[in-house]
């Protein structure tokens, strides 16, 4: 076997392995339309497990040696998930795939090589961060009362019937007896939340930039069939600081930040389960370079226009705006989407309002939003509070609307580059994928 043949087989094996790695980390799509209708019309028992918050912190280094492989694999997966066969011939798709493979490997390899060269955090750094939380938050579990906060957020959705039910043991492993008991109490569904990770993610080195990170699994189980109907993983980033800044934070500030962070996560979970669902429309695709909707998901930006950024670590080339920019985006839904809504649901979307979020960008992690506005009636918004000159920002919008008899929201809009898991239907979007600008 010659060297060229060996090299070819090695490349193919690596790409296959990359796809396997990517798919292992993928999560489910938003709830189906039928499941959504059931969730908003049936009684749901939200199980409160006091043992779930008894977890240890861990300092998790997000940069891994497989960064190059995962970068390439995510790019390939994004291409397969986003290309619309009706938009291209077989020859065009084949050529585009080859080009995209080359870009994905080069970009993923470059980023992975950069990340792989960083130093690992020291044991002292890990111990100090853990002590920071234990010493300053006292009873740590009291701050991670996620089910109670999800319940409070669910009360904001009219007609939703969710009750908090106490339980002992591991609620994600509900047995026949427990589900039967819930059914006798009149509950149709059981919702369980499990915190899989709570800690930090970020850079490496002696004084790394670290952000709060939490990952939660949400499972919905039918009390009659006793089968799992839906499983989705939520993750979110909180406050980002240098390690040296974290260890100097006082207990009161840390408590306020953690509690606000958990509230925001609870809001995301409720929105993801009860407001967002698998909408029966196209969410976006690559289409053709230069087209109005090229590379954007759900809602495309108009001002500043989307500039595809293959190197997310480099922000100097981002579009520049004033300290109080006027942001603009394309209306949702367009007429073709309205036709599909009508065909699939019997209704057209109405009463469309938009929500807007802007985040300051410290490296690759998103803090809590710097600026938020809700229920915007048009497709433009003049930022009312001055942003900081010289800083980089990411931003996104979503549309909320009536689709009789339902109320729904789209996911937060984002870009397909860097490679998005599951393309535009991803339920786990990297901060790098939101739209971006710099303030001059």
Of 205, 22, 235, 217, the C-alpha closest to 108 is 22
Percent of the chain topping pLDDT 70: 67
Alpha-carbon gap, residue 217 to 425, rounded angstroms: 18
Residue 149 confidence class, pLDDT cut points 50, 70, 90: very high
In a domain, 4, yes or no: no
Let me know whether 51 and 78 are in one domain: no
Q: What is the pLDDT of residues 358-405, one digit of tens each?
A: 998 765 456 678 999 999 999 999 999 999 999 999 999 999 999 888
Let me know whether 236 and 135 are in one domain: yes
pTM (2 d.p.): 0.72
Let me know whether 185 and 213 are in one domain: yes
Let me know whether 227 and 179 are in one domain: yes
Per mean pLDDT, which range of 98-107, 136-145, 271-280, 372-381 is the poorest? 98-107
- Choice between 177 and 89, residue whose per-residue pLDDT is larger: 177
Residue 189 has pLDDT above 60, yes or no: yes
Let me know whether 90 and 188 are in one domain: no
DSSP strand pairing (43-48 vs 406-409): unpaired
Q: How far is CA 17 from CA 24, 71, 236, in A?
A: 11, 12, 27
- Choice between 102 and 405, residue whose per-residue pLDDT is larger: 405
Kindly state the average pLDDT of the residues 130-151: 75
Let me know whether 127 and 253 are in one domain: yes
Of 287, 301, 274, 229, the C-alpha closest to 423 is 287
Query: What is the domain-level CATH number for residue 324?
Result: 2.60.40.10
Torsions phi, psi for 149 (to 5 deg): -75, -35
Q: What is the pLDDT of residues 270-317, one digit of tens each?
A: 988 998 888 888 888 776 666 778 889 999 999 999 888 776 666 667
Structure tokens given for 437: 């600008």
In a domain, 289, yes or no: no
In a domain, 283, yes or no: no
Domain that holds residue 230: 28-62+119-275
The pLDDT of residue 142: 57
Let me know whether 55 and 80 are in one domain: no
The pLDDT of residue 224: 93
Residue 58 has pLDDT above 60, yes or no: no
Query: Residue 28 gets which letter from DSSP?
Result: P
Let me know whether 47 and 71 are in one domain: no
The pLDDT of residue 262: 86
Let me know whether 111 and 176 are in one domain: no
Per mean pLDDT, which range of 25-34, 84-93, 239-248 is the poorest? 84-93
Residue 147 has pLDDT above 80, yes or no: yes
In a domain, 337, yes or no: yes
User: Is residue 221 a contact partner of residue 44, using CB atoms and an 8 Å limit?
Assistant: no
The pLDDT of residue 106: 46
Please give the tally of structural domains in the chain.
3
Kindly state the average pLDDT of the residues 329-341: 94
The pLDDT of residue 325: 97
DSSP strand pairing (435-439 vs 320-321): parallel
In a domain, 208, yes or no: yes
Alpha-carbon gap, residue 187 to 325, rounded angstroms: 49
Q: What is the pLDDT of residues 123-133, one digit of tens each?
A: 666 677 777 77
The pLDDT of residue 99: 54
Residue 264 has pLDDT above 80, yes or no: yes
Residue 322 has pLDDT above 50, yes or no: yes
Per mean pLDDT, which range of 37-46, 50-59, 73-82, 183-192 is the poorest? 73-82
Residue 185 has pLDDT above 90, yes or no: yes
The pLDDT of residue 124: 67
Let me know whether 78 and 225 are in one domain: no
In a domain, 420, yes or no: yes
The pLDDT of residue 330: 96
Average pLDDT of the residues of the chain: 75
405 preceded by a cis bond (ω within 30 of 0):
yes
The pLDDT of residue 8: 41
Alpha-carbon gap, residue 41 to 37, rounded angstroms: 6
Per mean pLDDT, which range of 40-44, 111-115, 129-133, 424-428 is the poorest? 111-115
- To which H or E segment does residue 146 belong? helix 146-154
- Choice between 42 and 118, residue whose per-residue pLDDT is larger: 42
Kindly state the average pLDDT of the residues 24-52: 77
The pLDDT of residue 342: 94
The pLDDT of residue 309: 72
Let me know whether 58 and 202 are in one domain: yes
In a domain, 281, yes or no: no
Query: Which of 275, 305, 337 corresponds to the end of one domain?
Result: 275
In a domain, 219, yes or no: yes
Query: Which of 275, 310, 326 corresponds to the end of one domain?
Result: 275
- CB contact burial 111-135 (16+ within 10 A = b; e otherwise): bbeebeeeeebeeebbeebbebbee
Residue 431 has pLDDT above 50, yes or no: yes
Residue 345 has pLDDT above 60, yes or no: yes
Let me know whether 305 and 263 are in one domain: no
Structure tokens given for 167: 């339980």
Alpha-carbon gap, residue 345 to 106, rounded angstroms: 43
Residue 108 confidence class, pLDDT cut points 50, 70, 90: very low
């Amino acid at each position: 076997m010659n060297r060229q043949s060996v090299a070819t087989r090695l490349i193919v094996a690596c790409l296959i392995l990359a796809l396997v790695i990517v798919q292992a980390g993928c999560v489910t799509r938003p709830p189906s339309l039928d499941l959504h209708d059931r969730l908003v019309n049936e009684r749901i028992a939200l199980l409160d497990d006091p043992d779930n918050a008894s977890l240890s912190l861990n300092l998790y280094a997000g940069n891994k040696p497989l960064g190059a492989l995962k970068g390439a694999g995510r790019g390939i997966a994004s291409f397969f998930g986003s290309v619309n066969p009706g938009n291209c011939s077989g020859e065009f798709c084949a050529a585009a795939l080859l080009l995209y493979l080359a870009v994905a490997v080069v970009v993923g390899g470059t980023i992975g090589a950069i990340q792989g060269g960083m130093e690992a955090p020291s044991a002292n750094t890990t111990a100090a961060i853990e002590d920071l939380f234990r010493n300053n938050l006292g009873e740590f579990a009291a701050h991670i009362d996620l089910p109670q906060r999800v319940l409070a957020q669910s009360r904001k959705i009219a007609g939703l019937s969710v009750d908090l039910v106490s339980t002992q043991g591991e609620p994600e492993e509900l047995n026949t007896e427990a589900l039967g008991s819930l059914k006798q109490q009149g509950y149709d569904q059981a919702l369980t939340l499990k915190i899989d990770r709570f800690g930090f993610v970020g850079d490496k080195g002696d004084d790394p930039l670290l952000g709060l990170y939490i990952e939660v699994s949400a499972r919905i189980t039918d009390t009659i069939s006793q089968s799992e109907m839906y499983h989705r993983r939520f993750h979110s980033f909180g406050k980002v600081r240098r390690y040296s800044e974290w260890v100097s934070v006082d207990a009161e500030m840390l408590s306020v930040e953690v509690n606000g962070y958990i509230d925001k996560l609870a809001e995301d979970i409720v929105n993801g389960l009860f407001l967002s669902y698998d909408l029966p429309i196209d969410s976006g695709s690559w289409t053709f370079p230069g087209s109005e909707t090229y590379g954007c998901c759900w809602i495309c930006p108009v001002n500043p226009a989307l500039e595809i950024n293959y190197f997310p670590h480099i922000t100097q080339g981002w579009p520049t705006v004033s300290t109080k920019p006027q942001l603009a985006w394309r209306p949702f839904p367009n007429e073709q989407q309205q036709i599909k809504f009508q065909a699939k649901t019997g209704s057209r979307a109405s009463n469309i309002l938009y929500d807007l979020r802007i985040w300051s960008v410290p490296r690759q992690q998103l803090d809590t939003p710097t600026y938020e506005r809700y229920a915007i009636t048009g497709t433009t918004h003049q930022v009312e509070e001055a942003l900081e000159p010289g800083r980089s920002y990411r931003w996104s919008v979503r549309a909320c609307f009536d689709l009789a008899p339902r109320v729904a929201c789209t996911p937060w809009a984002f870009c397909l580059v860097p490679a998005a898991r599951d393309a535009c239907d991803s339920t786990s979007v990297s901060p790098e994928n939101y739209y971006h600008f710099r303030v001059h």
